[in-house]
Amino acid sequence: MPLINVIVQPRARSRGVEEMPDGSFRIRTTIAPEDGKANADVIAQLADHLGIAKSRLAVVRGATGRKKVITIT
């Protein structure tokens, strides 16, 4: 299972996915980090960017923080 490092910017002005030179991603979401809503948006944006189904992605570390590790199954 490949692991993806992600840095999330919640409550951003606009949504977006940016691939960093080290292979990690910076994802901006306009949603506040409450009740997992921001995590759901991060998963949706990353899945769309990678061209895979949302169900194939899962947060394995950092569910409550800005730095997350996401796995592809």
Domain ranges of the chain: 3-72
Closest residue by Cα to residue 11 from 39, 30, 28, 34: 30
> How far is Cα 25 from Cα 33, in angstroms, rounded to an integer?
18
pLDDT in tens, the chain (73 residues): 799 999 999 999 999 999 999 999 999 999 999 999 999 999 999 999 999 999 999 999 999 999 999 999 9
Q: Which CATH number fits domain 3-72: 1.20.1250.20, 3.40.50.2000, 3.30.1200.10, 2.60.120.10?
A: 3.30.1200.10
DSSP assignment letter at 12:
-
Torsion over CA: 48, 46, 27, 9 (sign): positive
Supply the pLDDT for residue 1.
79
